């Protein structure tokens, strides 16, 4: 090997260990097929993705906008995660029929429960439309002119694209706006809940185990897609029939071993793999720590109440889990970036980039200034980006009463603009919408959260950006608890009965009262400070960053010609592949690739809401009543990990073997590798999947819903079971 090549390989180990990447399925044959086959794939690119004939892609859908699901029977049976179905299952639950707590299994089609609002979106076809999208666009164009030209082009593409009545068109930018792809989609809206295990299986380990390996969660739930008699998407009707997909996945009970090929097919949401070092440092050293500190306070305040009162616990458990999910991920991300040398890796890459740019006249002319300008802009935007996070995290996302105030604002503004006419008749509507807010709301919890958040806000937000106002308000009330207490005693917002009484009054009274409500005026002061002092700077700097990121993306692709680039995730269909593999995060620590039911029992802690185990599962374990779902060692596999490059949105994605058969269900990533959205490192980053044998074991042996397995396609073993 030439010295230079060796150096490059040292700098970019990803070239040696060619794993990682969320690949566009349209280009598998050109970009990936060879490598996939060398890793063990036994089928061909067009078995995975084809437009003219059925392929695996026809079994994959985006579930409910943010997750992935897959067809596992010819009759529209859909598999996804428990945490993806959670909202829908909660909606269908009541105190008497608590499907979250107890699980549920429809015994026949009549018992499949319509889940209003739940969607399943399939991709009929996709196309690279870059040339048309960028028609008439030139390098020298101003950004605004460029965007308006592109918008015109996209509108034209939409008009010219042939599609059926029941299809939709999506056009998405790829590679930071350097390429555009078109998707023709079909969205089904009659999706019914078929079954889920109890939370003690589907959410086993809850927040403590979240983002952590070894894992023992049976994170799955099942739905069925229904269609009109013509097999096309249709609004809910009891006359609808189970959808017959072009393709459903075969299921293999063969299991996996270290080193086996696997791939994950789904809808990853967002990654930022091509940022400069300055940007990922900002995330890891400034923004993540701030957001973590804010959520720390909110979670601590909530936790105190949840431990004291089981009713509060029920009301807040979903909210707590969702706040804790990102909180924990950011913590893992900031640690991982530092521990595994992400900054050094980026800076070595940038040094090589600069060296190559300097050497070529052509590159030098085009890319010379990119990195220095990006660094300057990231430095300039930092205080504003931080202030944005403080505002969003402390005043909106984690602060219920202020976020309600923000929600009411559009109402108040509309009253000011359109007068009484706007209000007339809308009050009932508003009351119904507030129902959702108050259902799981406890003013005493929110008051404590408010006090905690305002304290950290005042400590960190510059005086003139809202920090000073909060400090003064606290001083006037003898501190942050005093401030919270005064506000919650005088505001209408935290109290359902008071709000309902208010809404029954004359529109003018409603509007005036809301406008003068202390929670509303408090939010308004902070929001105005944000709109005046922070927003304009963001609006000035962000587009400049976006423009340079687009150029930097193109530059990286031009300068590192030897490297393959996958586009950052953007909620479109992608394939990632790799191997089943354990990992070694620290000196002397090695994690194996597979967990077992015995591990569930090791973690079992009777009565603990995170680690309780249902009696029936204990009985099956004691009796070793595992049916065909144990492996050759006589144990039931529960979870496994691999080097598939996944992110949020990949939850519920199928894990497939070398033949394209379903072997597991993706649902999480390992703690040390949560940095993968900014810095995928094949040595450390692992995705976590539930083993399909655990899923079928629970359905069949635990839930007694084996009739569902009859409609699935269990493929004969391709190799001897271990
Ligand atoms: N961390 C996983 C994801 O990002 C699972 C989240 C659901 N589980 C939980 N305990 N909150 O979505
Ligand atoms: N748990 C994530 C999801 O819900 C997956 C991940 O972030 O790895 O999509």
Domains of the chain from N-terminus onward: 20-119+189-270+573-722 (2.40.10.120), 277-554 (no CATH)
The angle at the Cα of 36, spanning 31 to 37, to the nearest 5 degrees, equals: 120
Q: Whose CA is nearest to atom 2 of ligand 1?
A: 668
Ligand nearest to the CA of 67: 2
- Predicted confidence (pLDDT) at residue 284 exceeds the cutoff of 60: yes
Residue 21 to residues 64, 263, 678, Cα–Cα distance (Å)? 24, 11, 12
Give the mean pLDDT of the chain: 95
Of 8-22, 86-100, 388-402, 409-423, give the lowest mean pLDDT range: 8-22
Q: Is the separation of the CB atoms in 224 and 192 below 8 Å?
A: yes
Tell me which residue of 693, 627, 698 sits closest to 202, measured CA to CA.
698
E-state strands within 209-320 = 221-227, 241-242, 250-251, 261-266
In the chain, % of residues over pLDDT 70:
97
| Residue pLDDT, tens place only, 561-577 | 999 999 999 999 999 99
Tell me which residue of 426, 429, 436, 359 sits closest to 403, measured CA to CA.
436
83 is catalytic: yes
User: Could you give phi then psi for residue 464, rounded to 5 degrees?
Assistant: -80, -5
| Residue pLDDT, tens place only, 211-230 | 999 999 999 999 999 999 99
- Predicted confidence (pLDDT) at residue 7 exceeds the cutoff of 80: no
- DSSP assignment, residue 124? E
What is the model's pLDDT at position 313?
A: 86
Average pLDDT over residues 700-717: 94
Q: How far is residue 191's CA from residue 119's CA, in Å, rounded to a whole number?
A: 6
Q: Which helix (H) or strand (E) holds 145?
A: helix 143-160
Average pLDDT over residues 628-638: 97
What is the model's pLDDT at position 420?
A: 82
Choose which residue among 81, 667, 675 to substitute to test ligand 1 binding: the one with the highest number of ligand atoms within 8 A of its C-beta. 667
Q: How far is residue 274's CA from residue 22's CA, in Å, rounded to a whole number?
A: 13
Ligand nearest to the CA of 87: 1
What is the model's pLDDT at position 217?
A: 98
Cβ(668) to ligand 2 under 6 A? yes
Q: Whose CA is nearest to atom 2 of ligand 2?
A: 648
Average pLDDT over residues 41-67: 97
219 is catalytic: yes
pLDDT tier, 3 (very low <50, low <70, confident <90, very high otherwise): low
Average pLDDT over residues 715-719: 71
pLDDT tier, 13 (very low <50, low <70, confident <90, very high otherwise): very low
| Residue pLDDT, tens place only, 327-382 | 999 999 999 999 999 999 999 999 999 999 999 999 999 999 999 999 999 999 99
Residues 6+ apart with CB under 8 A from 76: 224, 225, 226, 227, 242, 243, 244, 245
Choose which residue among 217, 668, 686 to substitute to test ligand 2 binding: the one with the highest number of ligand atoms within 8 A of its C-beta. 668
Choose which residue among 647, 672, 673 to substitute to test ligand 2 binding: the one with the highest number of ligand atoms within 8 A of its C-beta. 647
- Predicted confidence (pLDDT) at residue 6 exceeds the cutoff of 70: no
Nearest atom of ligand 1 to the alpha carbon of 328: 1
| Residue pLDDT, tens place only, 463-504 | 999 999 999 999 999 999 999 999 999 999 999 999 999 998
In the chain, % of residues over pLDDT 90:
89
Lining ligand 1 with CB less than 6 A are 83, 206-207, 210-211, 321, 325, 648, 651, 667-668
| Catalytic position from the list 47, 58, 219, 568 | 219
E-state strands within 511-634 = 574-579, 583-586, 589-591, 594-596
What sections of 340-425 are H helices per DSSP? Answer: 342-359, 361-367, 370-390, 400-418, 420-423
What is the model's pLDDT at position 720?
A: 45
| Catalytic position from the list 82, 83, 216, 248 | 83
């Amino acid at each position: 090997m030439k010295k230079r090549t060796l150096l490059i390989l040292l700098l970019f180990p990803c070239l040696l260990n060619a794993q990682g990447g969320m690949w566009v399925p349209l280009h598998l044959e050109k970009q990936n097929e060879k490598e996939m086959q060398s890793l063990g794939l036994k089928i061909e690119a067009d078995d995975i993705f084809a437009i003219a004939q059925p392929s695996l892609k026809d079994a994959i859908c985006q579930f409910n906008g943010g997750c992935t699901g897959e067809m596992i029977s010819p009759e529209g049976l859909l598999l996804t995660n428990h945490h993806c179905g959670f909202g829908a299952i909660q909606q269908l639950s009541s105190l008497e029929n608590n499907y979250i707590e107890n699980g549920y299994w429809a015994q026949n089609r009549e018992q499949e429960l319509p889940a209003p609002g739940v969607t399943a979106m399939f991709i009929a076809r996709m196309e690279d439309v870059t040339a048309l999208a960028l028609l008439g666009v030139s390098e020298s164009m101003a950004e605004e002119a460029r965007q308006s030209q592109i918008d015109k082009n996209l509108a034209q593409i939409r008009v010219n694209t042939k599609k059926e009545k029941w299809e939709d068109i999506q056009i998405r930018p790829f590679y930071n706006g350097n390429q555009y792809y078109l998707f023709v989609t079909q969205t089904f809206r009659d999706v019914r809940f078929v079954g889920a295990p109890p939370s003690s299986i589907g959410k086993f380990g809850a927040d403590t185990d979240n983002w952590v390996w070894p894992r023992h969660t049976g994170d799955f739930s099942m739905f069925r897609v229904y269609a009109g008699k013509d097999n096309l998407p249709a609004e809910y009707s009891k006359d609808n029939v189970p959808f017959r997909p072009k393709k459903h996945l075969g299921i293999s009970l063969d299991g996996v071993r270290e080193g086996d090929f696997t791939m994950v097919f789904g809808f990853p949401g967002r990654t930022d793999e091509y940022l400069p070092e300055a940007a990922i440092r900002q995330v890891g050293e400034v923004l993540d720590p701030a957001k973590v500190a804010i959520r720390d306070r909110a979670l601590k305040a909530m936790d105190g109440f949840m431990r004291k009162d089981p009713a509060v616990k029920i009301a807040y458990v979903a909210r707590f889990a969702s706040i804790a999910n990102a909180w924990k991920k950011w913590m893992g991300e900031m640690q991982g970036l530092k521990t595994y040398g992400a900054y050094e890796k980026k800076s070595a890459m940038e040094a090589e980039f600069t060296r190559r740019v300097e050497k070529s006249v052509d590159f030098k002319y085009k890319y010379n200034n990119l990195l220095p300008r990006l660094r300057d802009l990231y430095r300039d935007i930092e205080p504003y980006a931080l202030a944005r996070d403080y505002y969003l995290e402390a005043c909106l996302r984690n602060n219920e009463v202020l976020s309600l105030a923000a929600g009411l604002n559009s109402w108040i503004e509309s009253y000011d603009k359109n007068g009484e006419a706007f209000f007339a008749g809308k009050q009932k509507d508003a009351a119904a919408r507030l129902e959702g807010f108050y259902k799981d709301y406890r003013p005493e919890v929110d008051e404590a959260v408010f006090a905690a958040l305002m304290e950290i806000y005042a400590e960190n937000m510059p005086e003139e950006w809202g920090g000073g106002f909060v400090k003064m308000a606290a001083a006037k009330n003898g501190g942050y608890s005093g401030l919270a207490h005064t506000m919650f005693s005088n505001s209408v917002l935290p109290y359902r009965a008071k709000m309902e009484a208010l809404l029954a009054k004359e529109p003018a009274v409603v509007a005036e009262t809301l406008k003068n409500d202390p929670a509303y005026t408090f939010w308004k002061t902070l929001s105005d400070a944000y709109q005046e002092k922070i927003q304009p700077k963001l609006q000035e700097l962000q587009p400049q960053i976006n423009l340079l990121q687009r150029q930097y993306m193109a530059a990286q692709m031009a300068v590192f010609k030897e490297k393959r680039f996958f586009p950052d995730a953007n909620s479109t269909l992608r394939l990632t592949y790799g191997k089943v593999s354990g990992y070694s995060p620290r000196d002397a620590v090695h994690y194996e690739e597979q967990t077992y039911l015995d591990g569930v029992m090791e973690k079992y802690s009777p009565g603990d809401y995170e680690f309780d185990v249902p009696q029936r599962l204990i009985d099956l374990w004691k009796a070793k009543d595992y049916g065909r779902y144990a492996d050759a060692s006589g144990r039931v596999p529960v979870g496994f990990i691999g080097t598939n490059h996944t992110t949020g949105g990949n939850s519920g994605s199928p894990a497939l073997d070398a033949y394209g058969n379903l072997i597991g269900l993706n649902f999480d990533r390992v703690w040390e590798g949560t940095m993968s959205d900014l810095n995928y490192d094949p040595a450390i980053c692992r995705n976590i999947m539930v083993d399909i044998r655990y899923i079928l074991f629970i359905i069949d042996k635990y839930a007694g819903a084996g009739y569902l397995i009859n409609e699935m396609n269990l493929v004969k073993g391709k190799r001897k079971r271990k």
